[in-house]
């Protein structure tokens, strides 16, 4: 069943055409992703679907009587409200009924309380509050925190939680994995894959695209291409399409050369046949002039040679109060180091980078920096620029030229082109760039300084998949050292060859292999073994594969408790809908039911955990 139809949609800003005459449809239950280069019009297309932007022409029709929930990255919330109030104020009918029910209790409106309790029971809505608590817990959001106290990333997670809790038939998600840690991303993958709702999303997370999506829409050169498959299928079919396009361009070039000779021999056209042939020649010329963008970035930059001593950590200690970050940590960086840094928030990843760059000093031990070292540090901060700054000015502020191998040079303009900024963008105002284009420009500035030790903090955030592929191509040929903090699993797998896992309390584990191998091992073992742990404790963790006697007893008890709690829940729900309770009794039983639902959720989750171990 078709739930969204878009027909002949066009949108332009002045002379710049974003898309023209695009048509597509989405069927019920499909998981659809929109991919395109930064600045190609993804956000504008989403805004057209939202109704926040008017297309120049075309029609957008959603099927009636379906609940639609939108994830808006730029949504503003009142500063005085709590996280709970924000996420429970959405399209979910259970939320609205519970909110009205609580208001009726506060106003002592017995008749309204009784009516609403019947409605909540009829839609099995008493477990809604527990579901809100569960999702907020997974996304690491404090339900009682005021929105004004939260970071930008936390506010983005509120937007995601609000959509997921809406129980919508159609979800529109704009970069849902941004600002999520790796555990959250993997949970979201599982949640969306198993959900019956239709999903239309914009995301640059390639593993996420692979795991969740069954349709890929690509917006390229003002045209929309549809691929009925996951990300791997899309890559295969796109390569096939580009091969066919290259073949047709080559044929057009051969025809163009023949026709050009004819044009040069002819006097000014007077006959109808000659005019028709000239018109056909112009079409052939346009086809022959088409270029295939391979999204490649190849830069043989001549960087400062690394000496034998690069960076050495000798028994480094760092703490903030009682919180240990590093505890007698030692490590020597080697040439062509490819290190990924992972760990939960607050375990010390940022502090480690600041120590590495010399921005803060250790409290014990020492850090030795090699004489020839030139750091390049890419941060998540938005690039700062003057209002009248042009794209090429931003690059020239760092250098006019960059040295290449064999004595050659690359100008700022040439470097911009190699970094996927075409000539017609060089004198464009930076204010006109998309968020991803600004981040790509900032990354280019870091590389323009010609470092031999790169430290990249979330370099793929807001970059499109084509820019990420270009960056990966560059980094694979980078001769210096590389340290990466990233939640992009595909990027980490391709670029790094070992990981520092920050476990907290000063424990840092060096894991050989890529991120995927680490996560698979983590799921099996449930905890990574630290070199700082005692040998006996390490062996105990490795040997622990089955439930202990105590856990077996707990597992059996849970199997007895859960059916009893289910029965109690059913009895309390029936009491609420009986219509024979006083106001005080309704309040009391409602509170009991809420507590019971949370208890049942906790015990069920624990049973599942033990069952998996068993």
- What is the per-residue pLDDT across 394-419, written as a single tens digit (0 to 9) for each? 888 887 777 766 677 778 888 788 77
Q: How far apart are CA 160 and CA 171, in angstroms?
A: 10
- 266-270, 381-385, 604-608: which range is least confident on average? 266-270
Q: For residue 290, how far is the Cα from the chain centroid?
A: 32
Number of Cβ atoms within 10 Å of the Cβ of 404: 14
Q: How far apart are CA 207 and CA 514, in angstroms?
A: 14
* Tokens (6 digits) for 533: 């742990």
From residue 456, alpha-carbon distances to 459, 496, 573 in Å are 6, 12, 54
User: Sorting pLDDT into bands at 50, 70 and 90, what band is 245?
Assistant: low
pLDDT for res 14: 81
pLDDT for res 498: 92
Q: DSSP 3-state assignment of 32? A: strand
Q: How far apart are CA 527 and CA 530, in angstroms?
A: 9
Classify residue 398 by its DSSP letter. T
Query: Which range among 251-265, 370-384, 563-577 has the greatest average pLDDT?
Result: 370-384
Are residues 355 and 367 in contact, defined by beta-carbon separation less than 8 angstroms?
yes
pLDDT for res 302: 64
User: Sorting pLDDT into bands at 50, 70 and 90, what band is 244?
Assistant: low
Instruction: Give 524-553 pLDDT, tens digit per residue.
Output: 665 444 444 444 444 444 444 456 656 766
pLDDT for res 432: 84
- 307-311, 389-393, 492-496, 571-575: which range is least confident on average? 571-575
Q: How far apart are CA 59 and CA 174, in angstroms?
A: 21
Number of Cβ atoms within 10 Å of the Cβ of 42: 24
pLDDT for res 9: 95
User: Sorting pLDDT into bands at 50, 70 and 90, what band is 558?
Assistant: confident
Alpha helices in 381-514 (DSSP H): 391-396, 412-418, 435-448, 465-476, 489-495
Considering just the CA atoms, what is the radius of gyration of the chain in Å?
29
Mean pLDDT, residues 46-63: 91
Judge if pTM exceeds 0.85. Answer: no
Instruction: Give 378-394 pLDDT, tens digit per residue.
Output: 987 777 777 788 988 88
* Cβ neighbours for 347, distance < 8 A, ≥ 6 positions apart: 502, 503, 504
Q: How far apart are CA 572 and CA 557, in angstroms?
A: 23
Q: How far apart are CA 614 and CA 555, in angstroms?
A: 9
Instruction: Give 78-116 pLDDT, tens digit per residue.
Output: 777 888 878 876 556 777 777 777 777 777 788 888 888
* Cβ neighbours for 365, distance < 8 A, ≥ 6 positions apart: 313, 314, 315, 316, 317, 328, 329, 330
């Amino acid at each position: 069943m078709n739930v969204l139809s878009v027909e002949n949609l066009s949108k332009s800003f002045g002379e710049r055409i974003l898309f023209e005459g695009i048509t597509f449809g989405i069927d019920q239950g499909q998981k659809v992703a929109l991919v395109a280069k930064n600045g190609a019009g993804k956000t504008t297309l989403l805004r057209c679907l939202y109704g926040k932007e008017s297309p120049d022409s075309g029609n957008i029709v959603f099927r009636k009587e379906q609940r639609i929930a939108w994830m808006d990255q730029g949504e503003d919330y009142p500063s005085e409200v709590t996280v709970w109030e924000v996420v429970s104020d959405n399209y979910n009918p259970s939320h609205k009924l519970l909110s009205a029910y609580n208001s009726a209790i506060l106003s002592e409106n017995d008749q309204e309380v009784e009516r609403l309790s019947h409605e909540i029971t009829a839609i099995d809505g008493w477990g809604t509050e527990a579901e809100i608590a569960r999702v907020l817990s997974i996304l690491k959001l404090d339900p009682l925190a005021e929105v004004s106290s939260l970071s930008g990333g936390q506010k983005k997670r509120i937007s995601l939680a609000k959509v997921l809790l809406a129980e919508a038939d159609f979800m529109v998600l704009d970069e849902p994995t941004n600002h999520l840690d790796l555990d959250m991303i993997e949970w979201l993958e599982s949640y969306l894959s198993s959900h019956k709702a239709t999903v239309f999303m914009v995301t640059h997370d390639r593993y996420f695209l692979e795991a969740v999506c069954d349709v890929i829409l690509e917006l390229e050169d003002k045209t929309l291409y549809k691929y009925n498959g996951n990300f791997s299928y899309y890559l295969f079919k796109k390569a096939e399409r580009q091969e066919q396009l290259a073949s047709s361009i080559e044929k057009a070039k051969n025809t163009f050369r023949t026709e050009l000779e004819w044009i040069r021999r002819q006097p000014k056209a007077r006959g109808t046949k000659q005019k028709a042939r000239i018109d056909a020649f112009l079409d052939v010329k346009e086809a022959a002039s088409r270029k295939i963008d391979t999204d490649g970035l190849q830069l043989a930059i001549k960087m400062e040679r690394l000496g034998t001593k690069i960076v050495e950590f000798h028994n480094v200690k760092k703490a903030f109060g009682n919180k240990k970050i590093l505890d007698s940590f030692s490590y020597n960086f080697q040439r062509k180091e490819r290190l990924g840094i992972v760990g939960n928030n607050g375990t010390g990843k940022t502090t480690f980078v600041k120590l590495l760059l010399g921005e803060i000093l250790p409290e014990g031990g020492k850090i030795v920096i090699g004489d020839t070292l030139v750091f390049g540090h890419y941060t998540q901060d938005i690039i700062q620029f003057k209002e009248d700054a042009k794209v090429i000015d931003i690059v020239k502020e760092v250098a006019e030229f960059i040295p290449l191998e064999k004595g050659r040079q690359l100008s700022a303009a040439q470097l911009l082109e190699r970094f996927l900024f075409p000539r017609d963008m060089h004198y464009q105002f930076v204010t006109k760039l998309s968020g991803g284009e600004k981040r790509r420009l900032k990354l280019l500035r870091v590389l323009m300084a010609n470092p031999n030790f790169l430290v990249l903090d979330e370099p793929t955030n807001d970059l499109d998949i084509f820019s990420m592929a270009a960056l990966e191509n560059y980094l694979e040929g980078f001769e210096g050292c590389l340290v990466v903090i990233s939640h992009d699993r595909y990027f980490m797998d391709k670029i790094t060859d070992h990981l520092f896992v920050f476990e907290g309390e000063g424990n840092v584990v060096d894991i050989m292999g890529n991120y995927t191998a680490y996560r698979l091992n983590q799921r099996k073992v449930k905890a990574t073994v630290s070199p700082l742990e005692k040998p006996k404790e390490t062996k105990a963790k490795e040997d622990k594969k089955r439930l202990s006697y105590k856990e077996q007893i707990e597992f059996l008890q849970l199997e007895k408790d859960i059916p009893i709690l289910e029965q109690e829940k059913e009895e309390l729900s029936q009491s609420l809908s009986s219509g024979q309770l006083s106001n005080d009794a309704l309040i009391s039983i409602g509170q009991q039911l809420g507590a019971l639902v949370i208890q049942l959720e906790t015990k069920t989750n624990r049973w599942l955990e033990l069952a998996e171990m068993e």
